[in-house]
Every structure is written in structure tokens, then in C-alpha cells.
Copies of this chain bind each other. A is one copy, B any other.
Amino acid sequence: MKIIFLTGNKDKFSEAVEIIPYLQQSDIDLTEIQSIDPKDVILHKLEEAKKHIKGNLIVEDTSLTLEGMNGLPGTLIKLFLKTIKNEGLVKIAKSFGNDKATAKVMIGYADEKGECKFFEGLIEGRIVKPRGDNGFGWDEIFEPQGMKKTFAEMTTEEKNKISMRKLAFQKLKDAIEG
């Protein structure tokens, strides 16, 4: 079975292929729309991708939501990292007096018939001052609930065992393989 994961992010791809070994990567450039609902962002990308690529397609959206920010940064996390960086996110969490955060991976899977299904992986945690240097993006400021390490303090193996990406791709795998 051939499934194409549409992403330009090789870190995301390598986490995913650990779980579903027959995934293929395509780093076609897809438009990201402004919406705080990841399903909107994903559906728009899948529609665009279908014009260029045939097959079973996967689009993934990773979001980080600060409880105090009522949905932000959410799907906009990439633009936050580009501008105010992890340090800025830490400052904001502090100013809102709320360090709770949710990391979410939403996968949209469109099969060759065009049907689309969603699979979600969620992990609760809190925003802390940067610690660790493994990982990417906001890994260094996210400490999963019940853990004493940030994602960036874990080995890749440790992280992949518990991450929201693992949860989402596991659900997708179960659905595909029945």
C-alpha cells in the first residue's frame, strides 16, 4: 500500500515513518490558510494537493495551544516561532499566569476515492523555560504532564514513544491495517 505524506519537514517525516514504515514523503509546497481549526487548514491543503498528486495522501498539522491564549498559537505556531521564538512564548505564558498547554497532531488522510478521515493525537503539558537540545521547534519549552523532562531533554526514542505524533499515526495505522 502506497501512502504519501505531504510535508517539507523531515523531522516530522522521520517520526512518522518509524510508525508506518511504508510512508513516502513529498515536499510539495501547499498553501496554509489562516484558521485556528486544524481541520480547515488540512482540508484546504488536501484539495490543493489532489490537483497535482494521485494516491492516498496525508497532511498533518501540529499545533501548540496555550490555555491562557484561548486557542493561540494553535495552528499558527510556526509563525510564532519565526517571530517571537520560544522565549516569547514563555513570556506570554507567564504574563497570562497560566503555563498549561496542549500539543496536538491532527492527521487528515484522503484515500484514492477522495474520502477524508481525521486522526488526532493529544498531549497535555506545560510551558517551561527552554531546557534540552534534542528535538525541534518548541520541544525545548514543552514538558508533558507527569514527566520531568521537556521533549528536547528526551532521546528521540523516548519522545517517539509518547508524542502526540505517535498517538495520531498509531490511530491512522490501526485504521489502515484494520
Q: Which residues of B contact A34 (CB under 8 A)?
A: 32-34, 75-76, 78-79
A171 at the interface (CB under 8 A from B): no
A91 at the interface (CB under 8 A from B): yes
CA distance A69 to B91 in the complex (A): 11
Q: Which residue of B lies closest to A95 (CB)?
A: B95
Scan residues 37-89 of chain A and give those whose CB is less than 8 A from a CB of chain B. 44, 69-72, 75-76, 78-80, 82-84, 88
Q: Please name 12 pairs of A and B residues whose Cβ atoms are closer than 8 Å in the assembled complex, sorted by A.
A: A31-B33, A32-B33, A33-B33, A33-B34, A36-B82, A69-B83, A69-B84, A70-B83, A72-B80, A92-B92, A94-B95, A95-B95
Q: Which residues of B contact A76 (CB under 8 A)?
A: 34, 76, 79
The complex is assembled from copies of this chain, and their number is: 2
Q: How many residues of A contact B (CB 8 A)?
A: 24
Q: Which residues of B contact A79 (CB under 8 A)?
A: 34, 36, 72, 76
Partner of A91, one of B72, B80, B95: B95
CA distance A84 to B80 in the complex (A): 15
